[in-house]
Amino acid sequence: MAHSRCPHCQVRLKIQDERLHSKVRCPKCSEPFVCKPETVTPTRATARRRPPPKPNSLPIVLACLALLLCGAIWFFYPDPPAPTSTQDSIAVLPPKPASAPPQIAAREHPAMKRVRFFSQSLSARNFESLARQLDLPSWYKAKNPGDSRVYQLLPGDEIRAWEESLFLEISKNPFILQFVQDSFFDVFYLETDEAPLRIEVRINSNPDIRWIFDFLQDGGDWRIAKLDIIPPQAKPVAEAKEPEAKPKESKIYVEDDIGGRIFRGKIVAVDIVQDTSPEDLAILNPLLDSALQDGGLESRVAKKDLIPWENKPIPLLLNRLVELPLDGSEDRLMEVAAIDGLLQALTHRISTLPMRALGTGGKEGLVERQNEVIGSWFTWWKVWGKRWEGWKKEANFPPPPRRRGGKGRNSQ
C-alpha cells in the first residue's frame, strides 16, 4: 500500500499498488488526478538524530583486492586493437533505469466487466444473469440493516421472493434505465477504506450524474456489492418575487367544435344555419329589427312571424349579441335582455337572465351579467344547433303557425 497526495486539496490518500500512475478521483474534493507515489525526504532534524555509522574495514580490503586483480589483468593481457573506422566501432549505451510497471486503467479493470454485464442483463431483463453480477449478501445487508440473519442461511422461498423484489426495484429505477440505455463517458478509481475497490462511472447523456460501484472480490473475480447514484447538485433557487396583481380581465368562455376558446371583449361570429339562403336573410333581418323594438303591436307581430322560421333566426340573434360592445352600461344590458327574450320565444327555452340588483356591482357587475347571458346561449347552441329536431321534441314545441308571405314588415 503506497501513499499519494491530491494536487488540488493536498489530502494524503492510501493508494493500492495496482492503481499507481492511474487516473483516480479524490474522495474529498471530487477532482480527478493521476496518482503518483509520495516521496518522503528526511528532514534535517531526522538526519541529525541518526547515529554515526560504525567503521567497517571489509570494503577497504575488497577494494585493495580489486585493484590488485585489475593490475594483473592489465600486465598479462595486451591492449585491444584500435578500430580501423568509425563504422566498425560499436557504441555501448548505458542501461535505462527500470520504469514502474504499467498500471491498469479504471475503464479496463476486470471489475468493469461486471458493470457491462449488469447493463446488458437489465436491458434484456435477464434476472438470472443479473444475479451473477451482484454480491447478493451485501445487497441484502444494505436493504435490511436491522436483520442479523445470514443471507445464505435464509429459507429458499424467502430468498427467491426477496431477489425478485430487488430485481424489479432495480429495473424500474428511472436513473438505472438511463444508465442502461447509454454508454460510458468517463471512469475513475475512488479511494475508500470501506470497500476493496470503488469505481465511479459517468455516462454521455448526463455527465453530471455520478454512478459509484463498490466491488467485492470473489476468488479471482469481482461482484458488485453496492451502487450509489449521486444526481447533480441542484443550483440555489433565487427567491421568487411575488407577481404584481394584474387587473381582472373580462373573459367570455364559449365552446366550439374545435374544443373551446376564450374571447376577450368580443366573440367571433357563429355560422348561420346551412340551408339559409340570401333571400331568407333579406326577410329575417327586418323581422328581427321589428321584433326587438320596445313593445308595441308591430313588435308582437314580427315575433309571431319569426316562429315558423324555427332555428334560422337563432345564429343571427347570437351574432347581434356579439356585435353589442361590452361597456357594462344599463342601456346596453337592456338590449341584451331584449335579445334574450326573443331567443326564449323562438326556442321555447327559459333562460335565467340575471337582472336582479341591476344598479349594484358597478360596471364590472353589469359586464359579468352580460357575459353570463352570452355564454349561456352560445353553450346551448353548440349542443342543440345541429340537433334541432331533437330539441323540439324535448322542449315540446307547439305546431308552428302558418308563415305569412311577403318581405319586410308584416301587418296583422
> Into which CATH architecture does domain 106-230 fall?
Roll (3.10)
Q: How confident is the model at residue 99 (pLDDT cuts 50, 70, 90)?
A: very low
For position 370, what pLDDT does the model report? 74
The rounded distance, in Å, linking the Cα atoms of 190 and 200 is 7
Measured between alpha carbons, how far is 367 from 333 in angstroms, rounded to an integer? 8
Q: Is the pLDDT of residue 256 over 50?
A: no
CB 348 within 8 A of CB 312: no
Alpha-carbon span 321 to 334, nearest angstrom:
12
User: pTM of this prediction?
Assistant: 0.36
Q: Quick one: pLDDT band at residue 100, thresholds 50, 70, 90?
A: very low
Give me the percent of the chain exceeding a pLDDT of 90: 1
* pLDDT 10s digits, 161-212: 888 888 888 888 888 888 888 887 788 788 777 778 888 888 888 788 888 8
Least confident of 102-111, 247-256, 396-405: 247-256
* Continuous segment of H or E residues that includes residue 339: helix 330-347
Tell me the per-residue pLDDT of 367-387, one tens digit each, with 9 for 90 and over. 777 777 777 788 788 778 778
Point out which residues pair with 2 in neighbouring strands: 15
pLDDT at 354: 55
Query: What are the start-end ranges of the E strands in 67-177?
Result: none
Going across the sheet that includes 210-218, the strands are 32-34, 23-25, 184-190, 197-203, 210-218, 221-230
The per-residue pLDDT for 76 is 64
List, for residues 46-89, the tens digit of each pLDDT value. Answer: 555 566 666 677 788 888 888 888 777 766 665 555 555 544 44
User: Which burial class, exposed, middle or buried, applies to 335 when counting CB atoms under 10 A from its CB (0-12, 13-18, 19+)?
Assistant: middle
Write down the mean pLDDT value for the chain: 75
Give the confidence band of 315 by pLDDT, cuts at 50, 70, 90: confident
Instruction: Provide the sign of the torsion angle of the four alpha carbons 30, 33, 36, 41, taken in this order.
Output: negative
Residue 195: count of CB within 10 angstroms of its CB: 16
Report yes or no: 261 and 251 within 8 Å, Cβ to Cβ.
no
- Domain range annotation of the chain: 2-34, 106-230, 252-395
Question: pLDDT (tens digit, 9 = 90+) per residue, 282-301?
Answer: 998 898 888 888 777 888 88
First to last CA, the chain: 117
